[in-house]
Amino acid sequence: MKNPKERIVILALFLILIFVFYATVIFSATDFSLSAKAAVLYEPVTDNFLYTKNANVRLPMASTTKIMTALVALEESDLNEEIRVADEAIGIEGSSLYLKRGEILSMKELLYGLMLRSANDAAAAIAYAVSGGIDEFADKMNEKARSLGLTDTHFTNPHGLDDEEHYTTARELALISAAALKNQTFKEIVSSKKTTITNKDGEARLVVNHNKLLNLYDGAIGVKTGFTKRCGRCLVGAAEKDGLTFITVTINAPDDWRDHMTLFDYGYSLLEMRHLARVGEFRYDIPVLDSISEFVTVKNTESLDIIMQKEAGEVKANVKLSRYLAAPINENDILGKVIFTIDGKYLGEVDLVAETGAKSSKNKGLFSIFK
């Protein structure tokens, strides 16, 4: 029986074909302009970029760097680990938690400071705690980038302060963000509007998220702001509504908040999540031959959802199931399926599974059920 992730892959492949067919229509319908030098609108389940602008141009990324910093830290450390702030992390320029020498915080508290306040000293503290140094941690960031298949991204530090060899593209920054959002702790952190972090001595800091999208756009769940004079305003956004998630990236965008809301609106105007089958929605009582049980109930035990264009048309459900069944039947046997199509093209399917078993009867002939 296919698991839900396998079904999503199948549906994603179908949607890719749909996008190829409708690509001209989609992009010719774009009637807006953005302030950003580079931008993308990305749908991660189907791995589709619905809008791109200079998406493959290598550019500096400022503090959106910290998305990868957080992802590496989450994969390489324990959230509850107590971190003594390294001397080298004190007084880093730019946004700061104003950490003190020898101060102790948990990794989770440092991550909140990193992602909400965009604290460069927190980034350095994390780097020293995880890898013993900035360069060593940057190596881990680059190793992670390679594992994601990225070829136009390179890190030299965990905070995003200017460096000629520190760069990414709008496309690859979206892919980094998609990978990070799969981590539930990361998602919880970047979607928080504010929190209080407390060090081991009981000293508390209120940290407020710099990401105004969380207040400006219904469904916004992150992700990260960034700015230096060289980079301009950088922003990675994410929104989640009705089961559909979009990731937006702008680099060097004077009007970034508006750019992102425009991209989100565009994405939600194009696509929707359709619920083709909810658990138990397809349920049938089928006669059983040569059994003490007259009927066996079959039903779908899995749901099936698909991301589709809003104008994609009507989905048809074709039930493939015998009119009669023969014993013996075991509980959870797959006895049929429901196949979903649109315009004759395969979308996906759900299995019809026996709710209970049916044993053979030695006292009944094959057609005794009709007596």
What number of CA atoms fall less than 13 Å from residue 100's CA on the CB side? 8
Task: Give the Å distances, CA to CA, from 28 to 32, 269, 271, 285.
Answer: 11, 14, 16, 50
Annotated catalytic residue 118: yes
Count Cβ atoms below 10 Å from residue 13 Cβ, excluding itself: 11
Annotated catalytic residue 66: yes
- Compute the distance between CA of residue 304 and CA of residue 243 in angstroms, rounded to an integer: 12
- Compute the distance between CA of residue 142 and CA of residue 158 in angstroms, rounded to an integer: 11
Catalytically annotated residue among 53, 66, 140, 144: 66
Q: If we measure between CA atoms, which residue out of 236, 201, 240 comes closest to residue 106?
A: 201
In the chain, alpha helices (H): 4-28, 66-76, 107-116, 120-131, 134-147, 170-181, 184-190, 213-216, 256-270
Task: Give the Å distances, CA to CA, from 268 to 51, 217, 308, 347.
Answer: 12, 12, 11, 21
Catalytically annotated residue among 77, 95, 106, 118: 118
Our measurement of the distance from residue 26's CA atom to the centroid of its chain's CA atoms, rounded to an integer in Å, reads: 23
Tokens 């956004």: give the residue.
237
Task: Give the Å distances, CA to CA, from 273 to 5, 27, 315.
Answer: 16, 20, 13
Residues in a beta bridge with 206: 196
Point out the residues that are catalytic. Answer: 63, 66, 118
